[in-house]
Structure 1
């Protein structure tokens, strides 16, 4: 796996997040503040990246894997908050009465759609970079195969987490504060429809993450090496 410059990655994600918030501010001033809940959801999408950065930094210092385990568990609990942002597009349907008036699409529809897509893009990118960080940690401590098994498990958890969050309205911290509710929701969600939904979302996450992984590790390597060996041309 390619080693990334994570201080630069952090600055990139922070800049993208600030741009996303600025766009939302402009749109909300022009329309309304209905989508203020996106700010909290976006904050939750950042938490996995903070956990992965901490784990990545500790791993670079060769600390024991037992010290990384709590960070890994916390990351797994909060990772679904990143893909969950996609489901907020649902509110475009809920508010359709104000977007379509007498058969005419109102301009605010496009403002809200673009804002939601930007939040989704920023949140997903932050979540996927956190997944890449943890895959790097596992890769360094084991091998590439085990690191990809972890990715598969994380995407599966992400798909199931989106189901629990959107359909069953479960929060990440409910796992720690309300175990009885968690157990009941798990039992209720064990059906064919929920399984298909979870696997569908997991497959989408895997496809997008694999694309990002390939872009980071597979494109441009040959040309850069040729340039470095052959000198200026």
Structure 2
């Protein structure tokens, strides 16, 4: 197990958090908004599926089915936290009073550009953690059940995660609320509206596109570089 936390993917995650913390610190200290550190917490939640996937892969390679399944389930539970990071882009609404018609205001607004920097770093890395983790699980499913099952698994996972993103944003529930099933169901049902299927469809498409892009990069660039 030690090799999992000392491997290249783990080192990438540790290194990434240096940039996440630096970019967040730059904004919070300049704008004097300490509450903004919550975005680091969002990235911590987004990196959990990466480590869960690596542990699943580790135990799968050792033919230890029970721990592999446990960490696979943990991955599935926390994976939505990665594409959920896309919803943090709503904070670019900071620009709503000065975006296009009064460009000069945002052009010299240091606080606005620090938000852009921070959101760019945190969202991209949060998404990357998730796509890396799905690729790991996808490979495991392919080896164990075949490529067709792998595609079906990824499709279902993306659909479920898009619904999870919706209830995470609008019902304000978290991955660990699964231990409170009645609360989770009630909050989820109460959050549904005519907007729900549109939101879920958009995030299904966005997450699928991101994963296909990462899949292609991993298969055709990293493997042949």
State if a TM-score over 0.5 links the two structures. yes
Q: Give, in angstroms, the shift of residue 112 of structure 1.
A: 0.6
User: Which of residues 115, 120, 125 in structure 2 aligns to 1:122?
Assistant: 125
The TM-score with structure 1 as length reference comes to 0.82
Does structure 2 retain, via aligned residues, the 8 Å contact 1:89–1:113? no
2:158 equivalent in structure 1: 155
The residue number in structure 2 matching 1:201 is: 203
SS at match of 1:173: helix
Match of 1:182 among 163, 184, 191: 184
Which structure carries more relative contact order (alpha carbon 8 Å, separation 6+)?
A: 1
> In the TM superposition, what is the alpha-carbon distance from 1:99 to its structure 2 partner?
7.2
After superposition, the Cα gap between the structure-2 partners of 1:220 and 1:166, relative to the gap in structure 1 and judged at 3 Å, is closer
SS at 2:82's partner residue?
helix
**Equivalent residue of 1:169, what SS?**
coil
The structure with the greater share of residues assigned to helix is 2
TM-score of the superposition, structure 2-length normalised?
0.85
Which residue does 2:49 correspond to in 1?
48
Change (3 A) 1:41 1:220: closer
Take 1:203 and 1:97, find their aligned partners in 2: how far apart are those partners? 26
4+ residue segments displaced more than 6 Å: 97-100
Separation in structure 1 between the aligned mates of residue 223 and residue 69 of structure 2, nearest angstrom: 33
Per the alignment, residue 69 of structure 1 pairs with 69
Q: Is the Cα contact below 8 Å between 2:40 and 2:122 reproduced in 1?
A: no
Deviation at 1:113, TM superposition (A): 1.5
In the alignment, is the contact (CA less than 8 A) between 2:46 and 2:78 conserved in 1? yes
Backbone CA RMSD of aligned residues:
2.4
Structure 2 segments unaligned to the other structure (5+ residues):
1-5
Give the corresponding residue for 1:57. 58
Matched, 1:171 2:174: yes
Measured against aligned partners, the alpha-carbon deviations of 1:43-70 in whole angstroms (never above 9, x if no partner) come to 1111111111110000111122x44222
Unaligned runs of 5+ in 1: 1-5, 225-233
**Residue number in structure 2 paired with 1:88:** 88
CA distance in 1, matches of 2:222, 2:84: 32
CA contact (8 A) 1:159 1:201 kept: yes
Distance in 2 separating the partners of 1:169 and 1:38: 15
Using the TM superposition, name which of 191-200 and 141-150 deviates more: 191-200
Check the 8 A contact 1:45/1:81 in 2, yes or no. Answer: yes
Count residues with an aligned counterpart: 214
Q: 1:172 to 1:10 in 2, by over 3 A?
A: same
Shift of residue 162 of structure 1? 0.9
